[in-house]
């Protein structure tokens, strides 16, 4: 039996240009550029157990966190008839949102492995900068895994503490008629402290 503490950081960068609209000989598009840092973790240690190198399925909860978002929106307009181009920026104030009660479902896929399934946090949408839909649907990006733990290390009474670091990332390149890029990178740290 171990007490498990989870600490994670997610960093997001996006530069998204939406579907352009036309009016006469002018074409306008909305661009959102931003970066977000999300930090979250277990509110208190979660008791977990292993049998023959397999983790007994457990819900690690609650996980609480904060998401800090910075960025700018820009309206770009190009008019072919007059050969003019304009860029109207809207600078956004940094916003900090908090969330509580996220669940990480942990289970063993095989001896010495741990799989993770994460519930979605509830965060109000932000329009300045406007978060891309792909970000709104996956606030915390991809979860890492599977984690690997040595069954021998787990079984040894000399093992009093185990620390694991796992990473995950995804890059989304938008295709026409949209343009841009969304990058998400996460680092998870797991600390297991033996209780018996």
State residue 83's pLDDT score: 82
Beta-strand (E) ranges in the chain? 2-17, 21-23, 26-42, 46-48, 50-51, 54-55, 58-79, 84-91, 95-107, 113-118, 147-148, 161-173, 179-194
State residue 4's pLDDT score: 98
Tell me what the mean pLDDT of segment 26-40 comes to: 96
Name the percent of the chain lying above pLDDT 90.
86
Cα–Cα distance for residue pair 97/7, rounded to 1 Å: 18
* Token output for 166: 């796992």
State residue 37's pLDDT score: 97
Query: Is the predicted pLDDT of residue 81 greater than 90, yes or no?
Result: no
Query: Is the predicted pLDDT of residue 16 greater than 90, yes or no?
Result: yes
Q: Judge if pTM exceeds 0.85.
A: yes
First to last CA, the chain: 5
Domain assignments of the chain as residue spans, ordered by start: 2-194
Count the neighbouring beta carbons within 10 Å of the beta carbon of residue 71. Answer: 23
Contact 63, 42 (CB under 8 A): yes
Query: Is the predicted pLDDT of residue 196 greater than 90, yes or no?
Result: no
In angstroms, the Cα distances linking 48 to 13, 65, 132, 146, 187 are: 34, 22, 37, 17, 21
- Look at phi and psi of residue 187 and say left if phi exceeds 0, alpha if psi is from -120 to 50, else beta: beta
User: Would you place residue 109 in the very low, low, confident or very high pLDDT band (cuts 50, 70, 90)?
Assistant: confident
Q: Which of 111, 114, 115 has the alpha carbon at shortest distance from 51?
A: 111
Indicate the SS3 state at residue 77: strand
Name the percent of the chain lying above pLDDT 70.
100
């Amino acid at each position: 039996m171990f007490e498990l503490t989870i600490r994670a950081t997610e960093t997001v960068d996006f530069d998204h240009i939406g579907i352009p609209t036309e009016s006469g000989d002018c074409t306008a598009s909305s661009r959102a550029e931003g970066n977000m840092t999300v930090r979250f973790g277990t509110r208190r240690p979660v008791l977990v157990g292993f049998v023959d190198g397999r983790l007994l399925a457990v819900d690690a909860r609650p996980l609480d966190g904060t998401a800090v978002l910075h960025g700018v929106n820009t309206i770009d307009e190009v008019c072919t008839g007059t050969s003019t181009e304009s860029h109207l920026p809207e600078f956004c104030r940094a916003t900090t949102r908090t969330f509580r009660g996220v669940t990480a479902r942990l289970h063993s896929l095989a001896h010495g492995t741990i799989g993770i399934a994460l519930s979605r946090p509830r965060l109000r949408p932000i329009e300045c900068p406007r978060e891309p839909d792909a970000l709104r649907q996956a606030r915390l990006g991809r979860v890492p895994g599977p984690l690997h733990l040595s069954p021998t290390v787990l079984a040894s009474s000399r093992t009093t503490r185990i620390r694991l670091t796992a990473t995950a990332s995804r890059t989304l390149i938008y295709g026409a008629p949209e343009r841009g890029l969304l990058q998400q990178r996460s680092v998870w740290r797991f600390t297991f402290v033996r209780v018996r």
